[in-house]
Amino acid sequence: LLVTGVVLRRGLVFVRCLVLANVYFLAELGGILVSGYLWLRHSGWRRSPSEAYLAANFQLQARWARVIFAGARWSFGLRVQVEGTDQVPPGPVIILGRHASPLDNLVPAVFAAARHRLRLRWVINRWLLRDPCLDIVGNRLPNVFVETGSQEPRGQSARVHALASGLRADEGVLIFPEGALFSPGRLARARAKQAESGAPLPVYRHVLPPRGGAVLAALAALPGADVVVCAHRGLDAAADYRSLLSGGLVGREVLIDFRRIARADVPALPEDQLRWLSGVWAELDAWIDAGAEAPQAE
């Protein structure tokens, strides 16, 4: 009976993953078709795209994210609790997101952009351009695709500065300061590098040390903008495809928390901003640790 239960559970987890995969491919197909329609309707081949064309693509990006996140929520029976969404508007705002799962890329788009009609400009990894919809729509919109470990960090910071400059009250810039998906191996390498440098930084357990380049560039470009931290816990169970297949996400309670930091509480000097960012991430790490042992629903 025990063996049968384990096999059955694994089989059901595989079915859940298959359902999510189908939702993802349908979202991709729908996104590609709609993006083609928008290109034709709004004369997307023109050098200077119209405001209506940009607005339609922003909306498509948000809806695409909502469909995939809803598919994950339904197929895995997630119990999602969201707090602090009223802290997101108004813009311009700088949103800093934790990065522990492929699904958390969608969280700001679903609960900040779609819910509050906030136009988010993304600073995300170039690797995600392998996704057809992100490649098509993401390159139509004012986003910056960066390369982890780039040999030209100043050039990437300059691109982020240009991206964040002149945001309106209905816009924001989204940055994942960790620069890569969290994993124990990456954390161990970051700790070793930290020990070599002798830098007195906090010891993190659930997050990677934040990288300051993009964050400092955005703060410099938007001297009056507040900062919103997008914290979450529970999605760690979907850190990669192997963990998805293990069933750790099934019935998981996911808590998403948006916390706004007034610009007056952000230091003015870059070196002080780096220490401030490390402190913010230390608080995030402690918050995650406080709920790390939350039991999985049966």
Sign of the CA dihedral 273, 276, 280, 281?
positive
| pTM, to two decimals | 0.87
Beta strands in 148-208 (DSSP E): 171-175
Contact assessment for residue 229 and residue 282, using Cβ atoms and an 8 Å cutoff: no
Neighbours of 236 (CB within 10 A): 20
Query: Which residues 6+ apart lie within 8 Å of 161 measured at CB?
Result: 217, 218, 220, 221
Strand, helix or coil for residue 73: helix
Query: Residue 87 corresponds to which tokens in the numbers above?
Result: 């802290």
| pLDDT recorded at residue 297 | 39
Helices and strands in the chain, H and E counts: 10, 7
Strands 79-83 and 253-261: parallel
Cα 4 to Cα 63: distance, rounded to the nearest angstrom: 40
Contact assessment for residue 99 and residue 182, using Cβ atoms and an 8 Å cutoff: yes
Query: Residue 226's closest CA among 94, 105, 97?
Result: 94
Q: Which residues pair with 124 in a beta bridge?
A: 145
Q: Which residue is listed with tokens 């990437």?
A: 156
User: Per residue of the chain (298 residues), what is the pLDDT tens digit?
Assistant: 333 334 445 557 888 888 989 999 999 999 999 999 999 988 777 777 788 999 999 999 999 999 999 999 999 999 999 999 888 888 799 999 999 888 888 999 899 887 888 899 999 888 888 899 989 999 999 998 887 765 556 678 888 999 999 898 889 999 999 888 888 888 888 888 877 776 667 788 889 989 888 999 999 999 989 999 999 998 887 777 777 777 778 888 999 999 999 999 999 999 999 999 999 999 999 999 887 654 443 3
Query: Residue 167 corresponds to which tokens in the numbers above?
Result: 């945001």
Work out the angle at residue 240's Cα, subtended by the Cα atoms of residues 181 and 116, and round it to the nearest 5 degrees. Answer: 65
Query: Residue 248's closest CA among 258, 238, 260?
Result: 238
| pLDDT recorded at residue 113 | 83
| pLDDT recorded at residue 298 | 35
Sign of the CA dihedral 155, 65, 237, 135?
negative
Cα 219 to Cα 30: distance, rounded to the nearest angstrom: 36
Q: What is the DSSP string of 6-26?
A: HHHHHHHHHHHHHHHHHHHHH
